[in-house]
Each structure stands twice: as C-alpha cells, then as structure tokens.
Amino acid sequence: MRLNVAFSHNPRLQPLLDGSIQAEGIEFDWHLDHPTALFLEHLKKNAYDAFEFSLSGYIVAKNRAAWSHLGWIALPIFLSKTFWPLEILVNDRSGIRTWIDLKEKRVGVPDFNMTAAIWLRVMLKQLYGICPEDITWLNGRRPSQRHSTLLGFNDHPSNVVLHEPEEGSSLNDLLMRGEIDAAFGDGAYMVPIYEQPYVSRLLSSEQALQLLRDFMQQVGITPVNHILVIQEKLLEQPQLVHLLYDTFETAKQEAYRRARQGADAYLFLPDYAFTQQATLFGEDPYPSGLAANRKMLTMLSEQLYLEGQLSQHVSIEHLFAEFTWNT
C-alpha cells in the first residue's frame, strides 16, 4: 500500500527516509517542507494520509465542528519539542537579562497562537508568575501566513495587547531599531531573527538547559509542538495503523542508536553526555504513548481553554485513535 506522507526534516525520521527502517507492505511517498507551509497545506488541501501537524492546532481543529470534515485522528507520536522560545533574541538596550525581565516588555513571535508561543506563555506563568497580559505582543507573520487564522483561532484573550505587523515591517528590523524589546523567529523561514549590532541571544545553551530543567522539575513535563496525524479512514485497516505506530517508534529508537554511535567520533566521554541528558529528560526524550504525555497534553489543552480557543475542556482520549488509549 502506498501512503502519501508529509513532514518537516527530522532526524528521528531519517531511518524511514533512507529505508533502513521499513513498514512491511507500506511504501511512503514523502513530501518534506517547513512546518509552516505544511500546516497551511493540510488545512487547505487535506491531501496526505499521515502527516505532521501543530499540536495546539490539532486540538482546536478536533474540537470545532467546522473542521470535522477533515477526518483526522492523532497517534501519540510526538515529533518536535519547543526550542524556538529558548532562542529569544533581545535588543541589548532593553534591559532584559533573563526571562523574568520580559514582563512589561514588547515581545515579537511568529504567531501568537502557534504552539511554541503558547508554551512560552505557559512557562512564563509557571516559572515567574508572568501572565500574557503583562507583555505587549506582536505577530511576525501576516494573517494569511498563519494556520491559526485559517482555523479561526480567536485573535487573543480580551485583556491581552497584540499588534499585527505593518506592511513592510519585520520583527528582525523592529528588534534592531529597539521598537520591540525581544523576539524569537521560526528558523529563518517567514520570520528570521538574527544576531546583529545591538541584538543578541538572551540565553546561553547552558541557561536554556537550566530553564528547561527548572520547568520540568516544577511541572513534570517538557513541551511538545508537533504530533503525528492520520486520516481517520485508515482505522478501517487496524493492522496498518498499528504498523504505522510501531514503525515510527522503531525509527526513533534507531535514530537514538545512531546518535550514540556518532557521538563516539567527537565526544571524549559520549556515554557521560548521554547520561547527563537522560538524568534530565529520561532515556527517551521524545516518549510516545498517552501515559508519558497525558500531563503535557492536559496542560496545553487547559491553556487553550483559558485563552478562549476551546469552548470546553477536552477529553485526551477524544484526540487519539482508540487502540492507543492504553499506551
């Protein structure tokens, strides 16, 4: 059977892409692109059998009748975690030295309603008591470039100040001129943010890791951005869907094995480096299944509810294929 699949570049999928891990009886027709482009395409064309999608966007789409025609269901394979907010750049004259200094500042994000920006707000509230309304926000992408606009996300909670980009402006230029104080981009796709005169990264790698450590120790999760979604009609072939789930999990484990093997080439004590990470994130930093991710999913869904994107609390099981409920 041939399946059309669409994903962003991801090292945990590489064993599938190069054919070293295969799903018996399934051939994949791969389409690779930036997630921003993929998400818009999925909503407009719905042309793929299995694909990567925004976790917050999926939760909203799954709970709005207007999008029930898509016929999507998720598998608890979690494809990416939030890193862009950890790469916030600041104008050196803004007085921002740590995340707590973002309070009462002007902060640019690619999309106020993207999952990474939602997690930024969650982390600021959990770690420092900073609420969304304590910051003035600016979107970097135009409305037509945002999948959240197409989904019909509310613009923002009524007590939050959120500005739209002016024609010809960019977050990068506004940050350089000091018209905003801080911003993170989207990997140099639509909203590139660069270090430049008077603009520098807020957190070192060690500080970013410590911030993640603090968040995990306080709430017991690490944030997830993207999830694996399939067409619900595939559930009519349960063996196929079970095989998909197992194959993506196997590919991830093979990617881990390769990473350990590759580390021998340039790390003096590679096992020590992996042990350090395992102490913080566990042996599997991208665990699959609902048991390991229920708390994270609940926290994100609760934030969407608090921000008015969901009209009611959601059942986590409602989001996922039934055979995965006990994973």
Q: What is the CA angle 248-266-224, rounded to 5?
A: 35
Over residues 7-48, the pLDDT tens digits come to: 999 999 999 999 999 999 999 999 999 999 999 999 999 999
Which CATH number covers residue 108?
A: 3.40.190.10
Asked if the model's pLDDT at residue 300 lies above 70, the reply is yes
**206-215, 269-278, 286-295: lowest mean pLDDT where?**
269-278
Q: Could you tell me if 121 and 147 lie in one domain? A: yes
Q: Could you tell me if 190 and 308 lie in one domain? A: no
Q: Could you tell me if 91 and 53 lie in one domain? A: no
Q: Could you tell me if 131 and 211 lie in one domain? A: yes
Q: Could you tell me if 202 and 241 lie in one domain? A: no
Q: Could you tell me if 88 and 215 lie in one domain? A: yes
Among residues 196, 219, 242, the one where a domain terminates is 219
Asked if the model's pLDDT at residue 272 lies above 70, the reply is no
Report how far residue 94's alpha carbon sits from residue 86's, in angstroms, rounded to the nearest whole number.
18
Over residues 162-185, the pLDDT tens digits come to: 999 888 889 999 999 999 999 999
Among candidate residues 138, 152, 149, the one with its CA nearest the CA of residue 181: 138
Q: Could you tell me if 90 and 214 lie in one domain? A: yes
Asked if the model's pLDDT at residue 199 lies above 90, the reply is yes
Among residues 198, 219, 240, the one where a domain terminates is 219
* pLDDT > 90 fraction of the chain, expressed in percent and rounded: 84
**Residue 52 β-bridge partners:** 228
Q: Could you tell me if 193 and 249 lie in one domain? A: no
Residue 276: the pLDDT is 74
Q: Could you tell me if 214 and 280 lie in one domain? A: no
Print burial letters for 243-265: b (CB count within 10 Å at least 16), e (below 16).
bbbebbbebbebbbeeeeeeeee
Q: Could you tell me if 235 and 114 lie in one domain? A: no
**204-208, 232-236, 239-243, 301-305: lowest mean pLDDT where?**
204-208
Structural domain of 231: 2-81+224-324
Among residues 219, 237, 252, the one where a domain terminates is 219
Q: Could you tell me if 146 and 245 lie in one domain? A: no
* pLDDT > 70 fraction of the chain, expressed in percent and rounded: 99
Residues 196-208, mean pLDDT to the nearest whole number:
93
Position 16, amino acid = L
Asked if the model's pLDDT at residue 321 lies above 80, the reply is yes
Q: Could you tell me if 249 and 149 lie in one domain? A: no
Over residues 224-269, the pLDDT tens digits come to: 999 999 999 999 999 999 999 999 999 999 999 998 888 787 777 6
Give the confidence band of 283 by pLDDT, cuts at 50, 70, 90. Answer: confident
Number of domains in the chain: 2
User: Strand, coil or helix: what is 159?
Assistant: coil
Report how far residue 225's alpha carbon sits from residue 52's, in angstroms, rounded to the nearest whole number.
10
Distance of alpha carbon 324 from the chain centroid: 21
Round the average pLDDT of the chain to a whole number and report it.
Answer: 93
What pTM was computed for the model? 0.95
